[in-house]
Structure 1
Amino acid sequence: MRELEGAWTVDGLVADGDVSPLPAGVKATISFEEGRIHVHGGCNSGSADGCEVDGRTITFGPLVSTLMLCGPDEMAVEHAVFTVLGRGEVTYRVDGEAVTLTNAEGAGLRLRR
């Protein structure tokens, strides 16, 4: 978990192996802190407890978030972020300065410090 600790910015959405950048002006972040994740999905914020790493799999408890409505770009990014994290388990791959989180359905997020 140590290599993941701290704040990360989502700089790409992964679908079918392709990475798409976030729309201009939309910012999403994920922070890993002492067994917990904090998420800002582009509009709403949330968190989950019980974050554990086993090999290259991260498992965490239910993700709880605020429920504000934002513009279409922010909501599209938020939907992608919460879809990836919403199952409570992702695999991760470190590639230089980037980390890719992927859920069981193959949807993913590329993160950078």
Structure 2
Amino acid sequence: MKMKTTSIGMVLLLTIGVITAVSFSLGCTEQEEAPIEPSDNTSVEPVENTPAEPAENTSVEPAENISAESIENTPAESAEITPVESAGSAGSTTEELEPVSADNITSIEWQWASFQDSDSPETQITVPDPENYTLAFFDDGTYYIKADCNSGSGTYVLEGNNLTLGPVTITLMACGPESMDGEYLSLLPTVEAVALEDGQLVLYPGNEGDKMFFTNGGEAEQ
């Protein structure tokens, strides 16, 4: 009886040992297989998604926008700048004029015939009734003007081509809406130079490129 009891105990111990060994081996197998999935997920997803998008956006779009706008717009704007050239050409025109002698312009009734604006130098504005807008210089340094229904006089200084018309004492009558007396009286005080071209008297107001053309209306009486 003791031998049977001992053998039965041995069998039970062996059975328990086998079950324990099997369960231990299964647990180890699950632990070894478990880290495989997280290792795959952590290594693949960040590497593929992170560097791809910023690399494409930062290198392509800014480079195209900066180069296209700066290259196309900058020279076009600088090429269209013309006031410097026009100012230089107008200044050189007055400097190249031949000096005017007072004997060639005094005691003549000069009639304002047309006006050339610097904004449209290729055209001239014709003055209606030039005999109503006159200018006469005299040897004693005085000048006489007629501005439509108004008239007056002042003093002038002529040195070569430089002409300065002093303040004028003039009547102040309303000549009507179609009169050009306002334009005439506003231009004369700004005259800086004078010239003779093809028998016409040409006055140069302060705005470079502007010209006032006068025709010879005959002898003027003081």
What TM-score range do you get, normalising by the shorter chain?
A: 0.7 to 0.9
Residue 68 (structure 1) aligns with: 173
Using the TM superposition, name which of 18-27 and 1-10 deviates more: 18-27
Distance of 2:182 and 2:152 partners within structure 1: 13
1:42 to partner: Cα distance: 1.8
Distance of 1:92 and 1:38 partners within structure 2: 16
Residue 135 (structure 2) aligns with: 30
Percent pairwise identity: 20
| Higher RCO structure, 1 or 2 (CA under 8 Å, sep 6+) | 1
User: Is 2:162 aligned against 1:57?
Assistant: yes
**Aligned 8 A contact 1:84 1:108 in 2:** no
User: Is 2:116 aligned against 1:14?
Assistant: yes
Residue 3 of structure 1 aligns with an amino acid whose one-letter code is: N
Q: 1:52 to 1:21 in 2, by over 3 A?
A: same
The TM-score normalised by the length of structure 2 is 0.45
Residue 103 (structure 2) aligns with: 2
Please give the secondary structure, in 2, of the residue aligned with 1:93: strand
**Aligned 8 A contact 2:175 2:181 in 1:** no
Q: 1:69 to 1:59 in 2, by over 3 A?
A: same
User: Is 2:185 aligned against 1:82?
Assistant: yes
1:108 to partner: Cα distance: 3.4
Please give the secondary structure, in 2, of the residue aligned with 1:73: coil
**Bigger Cα Rg:** 2
1:24 to partner: Cα distance: 5.2
Residue 55 of structure 1 aligns with an amino acid whose one-letter code is: G
Please give the secondary structure, in 1, of the residue aligned with 2:104: coil
Q: 1:67 to 1:20 in 2, by over 3 A?
A: same
1:43 to partner: Cα distance: 2.4
Distance of 2:158 and 2:185 partners within structure 1: 19
Q: 1:13 to 1:42 in 2, by over 3 A?
A: farther
Paired residue for 1:43, among 149, 154, 167?
A: 149
Please give the secondary structure, in 2, of the residue aligned with 1:9: strand
Q: Which is richer in strand?
A: 1
* Runs of 4+ displaced beyond 6 Å: none
Residue 69 of structure 1 aligns with an amino acid whose one-letter code is: A
Q: 1:91 to 1:25 in 2, by over 3 A?
A: closer
The TM-score normalised by the length of structure 1 is 0.83
User: 5+ residue gaps in structure 2?
Assistant: 1-101, 217-222
Q: What is the aligned-residue RMSD (CA, Å)? A: 1.9
Residue 103 of structure 2 aligns with an amino acid whose one-letter code is: R
**Aligned 8 A contact 1:23 1:73 in 2:** no
Residue 45 of structure 1 aligns with an amino acid whose one-letter code is: S
Residue 193 (structure 2) aligns with: 91
Residue 31 of structure 1 aligns with an amino acid whose one-letter code is: A
Q: Which is richer in helix?
A: 2
Please give the secondary structure, in 1, of the residue aligned with 2:143: strand
Q: 1:8 to 1:81 in 2, by over 3 A?
A: same
